[in-house]
Structure 1
Amino acid sequence: MKGRMLFIFNPRSGKGQIRNKLMDIIDVFVKGGYEVVVHPTQGAKDAEKIAKSMAEEVDLIVCSGGDGTLDEVVTGLMEIGANVPLGYIPAGSTNDFASSLEIPRDMVKAAQDIVDGHLFSVDVGSFNEDNFIYVAAFGMFTDVSYETSQDLKNILGHLAYVMEGAKRIFDIKTYHLCVEANGEVHEGDYIYGMITNSHSIGGFRNLVGNDVEMDDGLFEVTLIKKPKNPLELNEIIAALINAYDDTNMIDAFKANSLYIHGDEAISWTLDGEFGGEHKEVRIKNRKQALDILINS
């Protein structure tokens, strides 16, 4: 017997596909030597609550859902300082974290990889009093995920994010911010910013560069300035698509901590979910703070 497992799953994520796979997944875990406690989430923050309440009673926690479900579980574990390992079975329309760790989209295969896998320690971000696993962002498109209904996410997948953002492409708000990192100050009028620990964002690779390591204690920081004309807009798009930073329109660098402040409170998204409005934020990288089972 390997031990006791808490299996948390979001029954609505990814068109509810886990309902057809649930028995097969549990069978994999039982055959792998686990006593399995199953908990379907009952609403917002439920995954966080159950992870916190049972972390000391189990040897492993596995969660299945989108990035939001994963974020809830990780937040719960970080808040209580639990060191229980985590397994992840992706089920959402966009799973940046799973993609970065090469976790299979096939749910039964992902379950088997958890049984057969090894521990890999990934960085976790702290954001004021909150936590995030792979991205904290503000500005253009960052409210797309939580303004797009769950059903729309299920039906359209990646296109749901793009479509909602494209509706407002010509209504761009700017934020005058000071970003302090690495002993330097970056000040400007930005339309978008993201602090990431992932190989892909919104399902799109290359947006954060090609030299990403998820256990190096460093974030990839991308700050996009407001384009003044179509030429500058095309310059930004080309830089993002081709993953190069040879443009004055984007401030891109690595950092293990940041202090970001401005004249107004701005909305943030943490792992694709609404992260509140903040006038100033302090972000720190908690190097290798989470042990996750992978088989890659």
Structure 2
Amino acid sequence: MKKVLFIVNPIAGKMKILKDLLEIDKAFYNGDCSCDIYFTKKKGDATEKVIESGANYDLIVCGGGDGTYNELITGVLTSGIKVPVGYIPAGTTNDFASTLELSQNPVTAAANITCGKIKKLDVGKFADSYFSYIASFGAFTSTSYSTQQQMKNVFGHSAYLLEGMTELSSIKPYHVRLEVDGKIYEDDYLFGAISNSTSIAGLIKLDTKLVNLSDGQFEIMLIRMPKLLIDVPKVIIALANGDYNEEHITFLHASKVKVKTSGTLDWALDGEYASSTDEIVLENVHEAIDFVI
């Protein structure tokens, strides 16, 4: 039997995973896997558990949202262990799980993992931290990490929209200089995302033909501040239609990005807060994770 470490975030996504735990454990058993379940109690627990015990297992799986999965891969990469990972999506939005087309049924997702194959996935490096699918700054970036867990458990994805509405009056551009694979981009940006996903912030959907999770390249989207308010709807419509040639939108691919700003800039990594900084280098770690899918 394969030894599986199953790390569960019990408060993620309306706590829906708890009612399925017995069936999930049964699915692992039926797939010839012996499952040890570990419940996280605070932020960072998943990372610590992987560093502490991950090498003793054949497979490490997390049940929770994208933030829980981020902690899992951070533990794997920080410790340097070569153990495959799996993901049972049970959070509020599950952006990265949607990109991977994972089953939203936790029991089915567990069963799929037991008979899945390994796919090597790129990971983003942000100073000494990692992100599985997105690092973002600017408009609505704080929504993902400032929305309270209780609110997310009650309202689900709508909680992010409600929180985002309160941000509308405080949206402002940031003067940012980006060095992207040797080329300079400098302007006043409302929003920026360095991603490896078909879904950006749960709101912008990228054409799957534009995204390869294992090519060593990020997808980069920058939205400039329109000089005229009348141009704002044009930008929104262009994003909705997948038209990245709109004059206020810059879309490109790159493996390394250096970001510099005159003041501090708040970031979100996989929806979780990252320390403010005035200069940061983001690098694509090619095929860093063995993901069972």
> Which bin holds the TM-score, normalised by the shorter protein?
over 0.9
After superposition, where does 1:74-223 map in structure 2 within 5 Å?
74-207=73-206, 210-223=209-222
> Secondary structure of the equivalent of 1:92?
coil
CA RMSD, Structure 1 to Structure 2 (Å): 1.3
> Secondary structure of the equivalent of 2:97?
helix
Q: Say yes or no: does 1:245 pair with 2:244.
A: yes
Aligned twin of 1:272: 271
**Could you tell me whether the CA contact under 8 Å between 1:207 and 1:240 is conserved in 2?**
no
Deviation at 1:209, TM superposition (A): 7.0
Deviation at 1:139, TM superposition (A): 0.9
Stretches of structure 2 lacking an aligned partner (at least 5 in a row): none
**Could you tell me whether the CA contact under 8 Å between 2:14 and 2:156 is conserved in 1?**
no
Cα distance, 1:51–1:202 mapped onto 2, change above 3 Å: same
Deviation at 1:155, TM superposition (A): 2.3
Report the Cα distance in structure 1 between the residues aligned to 2:166 and 2:125, rounded to whole angstroms. Answer: 32
Report the Cα distance in structure 2 between the residues aligned to 1:174 and 1:35, rounded to whole angstroms. Answer: 51
Deviation at 1:288, TM superposition (A): 1.1
Deviation at 1:208, TM superposition (A): 7.0
> Secondary structure of the equivalent of 1:11?
coil
Letter in 2 for 1:183: G
Report the Cα distance in structure 2 between the residues aligned to 1:64 and 1:210, rounded to whole angstroms. Answer: 28
Report the Cα distance in structure 2 between the residues aligned to 1:84 and 1:20, rounded to whole angstroms. Answer: 28
Report the Cα distance in structure 2 between the residues aligned to 1:22 and 1:87, rounded to whole angstroms. Answer: 16
Aligned twin of 1:226: 225
Report the Cα distance in structure 1 between the residues aligned to 2:45 and 2:228, rounded to whole angstroms. Answer: 46
Report the Cα distance in structure 1 between the residues aligned to 2:291 and 2:70, rounded to whole angstroms. Answer: 13
Report the Cα distance in structure 1 between the residues aligned to 2:203 and 2:224, rounded to whole angstroms. Answer: 20
Aligned twin of 2:57: 58
Stretches of structure 1 lacking an aligned partner (at least 5 in a row): none
Deviation at 1:117, TM superposition (A): 0.8
1:127-155 Cα deviation digits (max 9, x unpaired): 01110000000111000011111121122
Report the Cα distance in structure 2 between the residues aligned to 1:207 and 1:251, rounded to whole angstroms. Answer: 13
Aligned twin of 1:32: 31
Report the Cα distance in structure 2 between the residues aligned to 1:45 and 1:37, rounded to whole angstroms. Answer: 19
Report the Cα distance in structure 1 between the residues aligned to 2:176 and 2:282, rounded to whole angstroms. Answer: 15
Letter in 1 for 2:210: D
Cα distance, 1:256–1:249 mapped onto 2, change above 3 Å: same
**Could you tell me whether the CA contact under 8 Å between 1:208 and 1:222 is conserved in 2?**
no
**Could you tell me whether the CA contact under 8 Å between 1:207 and 1:241 is conserved in 2?**
no
Q: Give TM-score scaled by structure 1 length.
A: 0.96
Count the aligned residue pairs.
293
Q: Say yes or no: does 1:45 pair with 2:37.
A: no
1:75-106 Cα deviation digits (max 9, x unpaired): 11111122100010000010011101110000
Alignment identity in percent?
A: 40
Report the Cα distance in structure 1 between the residues aligned to 2:200 and 2:110, rounded to whole angstroms. Answer: 24
Deviation at 1:174, TM superposition (A): 1.7
Letter in 2 for 1:251: T
Report the Cα distance in structure 2 between the residues aligned to 1:132 and 1:71, rounded to whole angstroms. Answer: 6
Report the Cα distance in structure 1 between the residues aligned to 2:265 and 2:204, rounded to whole angstroms. Answer: 26
Deviation at 1:210, TM superposition (A): 4.7
Of stretches 121-130 and 240-249 in structure 1, the one that deviates more from structure 2 is 240-249
Report the Cα distance in structure 2 between the residues aligned to 1:94 and 1:72, rounded to whole angstroms. Answer: 17
Deviation at 1:287, TM superposition (A): 1.1
Report the Cα distance in structure 2 between the residues aligned to 1:188 and 1:41, rounded to whole angstroms. Answer: 41
Q: Give TM-score scaled by structure 2 length.
A: 0.97
Deviation at 1:204, TM superposition (A): 3.3
Report the Cα distance in structure 1 between the residues aligned to 2:210 and 2:245, rounded to whole angstroms. Answer: 16
